[in-house]
Amino acid sequence: MKKFFLLLPLFFALVFTGIAQETFTNPLLPSGADPYSFYKDGYYYYTHTMGNRLGIWKTKNLANLKTAEAKIIWTPPTGTLYSKEIWAPEIHFIQGKWYMYFAADDGDNNHHRMYVLENASPDPMQGNWDFKGKVADSTDKWAIDGDVFEHNGQLYMIWSGWEGDVNVQQNIYIAKMKNPWTIEGPRVMLSGSDFDWEKHGDLPGNPSHVNVNEGPQILKHDNKVLIIYSASGCWTDFYALGMLSTDKNADLLNPKSWVKSPQPVFKASPENGVYAPGHNSFFKSPDGKEDWILYHANAKPGQGCGTFRSPRMQKFSWNPDGTPNFGTPVKEQQVLAIPSGQTRSRAKAKLPKNPIFEGWYADPEGVILGNKYWVFPTFSAKYKAQVFLDAFSSKDLVNWKKHPRIVDTSAIKWANMAMWAPSIVQKDQQYFLFFSANDIQSAERNKVKDDTLGGIGIAVANRPQGPYRDYLGKPLINHFYNKAQPIDQFVFQDKDQQYYIFYGGWGHCNVGKLNADFTALTPFPNGDLVKEITPQGYVEGPTMFIRNGKYYLMWSEGGWTNGTYKVAYAVADGMMGPFEKIGTILKADENIATGAGHHSVINVPNTDEWYMVYHRRPIPNFDRDHRVVCIDRLYFNADGTIKEVKMTFEGVKRKLK
């Protein structure tokens, strides 16, 4: 498959302790291409393309993938021919052992080949996954999307490959296997792009067009053996499923034994909002009475092979001639019954609490307003799409309600993009929302004018959920003082009730004194409008709180666009410092997430219980804007220093009032 910008899902490692639901809706996960599952001993083992590693979900009900136990089982070593672009994994149990098949390369698509891992443990979530090597026929040509099956006592592999060494057409091939990791004998081509519906494959570069047959899956019913495959480029809306069929006693290695359907057997449904459905697999319900198709699709036209593909499933039936009737892809959010024979225990699910709400968000400010907890985050997207802010409220720090578009650029005339890092203050029965906008640059750094309109502004409302209106009609801070970019503002009220604003990007942290009505900054006694208090290692995202009379300044380090992002802190006797860095307390955890940072802190009222509200990047993650908001406990040592924060999937373990 010629796959561009591989789909990267939110990968939850969660525990599901029971099943209470009897219906579900698609998609099963927010994202996930090339879905595959294998059923054994009452559990479905699910996997999909993750790009740079392999993972498995374990569940009794595929409708519960969002809350299923999951695990990263293998990450490739660097610098090999199989270190990158890991596609279309499949998990199988063959001859008493588990096998994971996948395609990978070294960053050059021409080098894509198939590989396999082996695990002798009865449970694929346990034991060791050992790299067995490459799976190839004697030609060793480009190969992806391998599917292994047994028929009449013989093991076979089917896959998608090139005839030669040039990317012009992907064909479906079959070969016998000597054992689960070795192909025996020559490959045989079963299908190429013969019909017009299989030939949608124009590309903007080189090559300019590719015909595609890929993702073959075996399906057996009565006396028939079927291969269901995907055709046309996955980058087109014409991606669809085709079918090859033969008799169960036929010679599977004889191309003449197979009959090809002249029409697709499953294709896009614009009326249902489903586009480019394909790269599927099949499973039976737990009682064996129902047949289901598991596939990925897009929700809008033109989304191609990108991060929009999501896994879906639906039941299908059989035609009188023994061929499958997949029907039409169902609408998202259409209520469907779960597969038959599903155990219906009344035990409750241990639901995921991190991330605390759905969607891509970053830079969260967590506060208490009235009798509710609130989180005000940045909408994590491309700068030009960041034209609004949402808010979320909770009575217990567990269940969250979304308040969409509490403010947008239509209310802030000087703002046109990059609305970031909201910080909120309640004062005189009004709510003041500080934010930055327009990502203004400095002449020194980017050769643009210093007076570009943008910076830190204020919006005001009568309720925390808005709607907010522009308070000043212009930015509060529009200039680079002490080389600090005017972003990442945090408003802090000191013990004397005076409000201050901490802010700054590009490695510089400033603090300014707000006047009584928040219309301007009040100069310090020496005439400075702001003072720089930058601690060692500071990059951006300052926040502050007081505990036991000490002032804790916290900030983010590293690069926000990647996994190096982390949180450090310092402690001082006063708000202005001096602040000497003590250490890093939040950083990447390869088993959970990377890029953790730009946080805030919540103290549960009348307790010494503290929580960190932060964003992080799910694993795997290759998109800089795929960030989610999470909450984890903040603990202190006896001397007041902060213990390293452990990222979790459970988050807040109990409801807090």
Residues classed as catalytic: 363, 540
For residue 445, give both structure tokens.
């750094």
Residues paired with residue 100 on neighbouring β-strands, in sequence order: 91, 117
CA 370 to chain centroid, in Å, comes to 33
Calpha distance 634→586 (Å, rounded): 10
Helix runs in 196-326, H state only: none
> Which residues touch 126 (CB under 8 Å, ≥6 apart)?
none
Calpha distance 105→378 (Å, rounded): 36
Residue with tokens 């149990």: 93
Reduced 3-state DSSP string for 433-485: EEEEECCCCCHHHHCCCCCCCCEEEEEEECCCCCCCEECCCCCCECCCECCEE
Calpha distance 49→234 (Å, rounded): 14
Calpha distance 480→447 (Å, rounded): 13
Q: Is 189 helix (H, G, I), strand (E, B) or coil?
A: strand
What DSSP designation does 384 have?
G
Nearest Cα to Cα of residue 611 among 577, 582, 647, 584: 647
Strands 169-179 and 211-221, how do they pair? parallel
CB crowding 352-383: b at 16 or more within 10 Å, else e: bbbbbbebbbbbbbbbebeeebbbbbbbbbee
The CA-to-CA distance between both ends of the chain, in Å, stands at 51
Calpha distance 585→551 (Å, rounded): 16
The Cβ-side half-sphere exposure at 613, using a 13 Å CA radius, reads 26
Nearest Cα to Cα of residue 440 among 459, 421, 424, 417: 417
For residue 33, give both structure tokens.
């291409």
Calpha distance 181→31 (Å, rounded): 30
What CA–CA distances, in Å, run from 571 to 62, 545, 550, 576, 640? 48, 10, 7, 11, 9
What DSSP designation does 537 have?
T
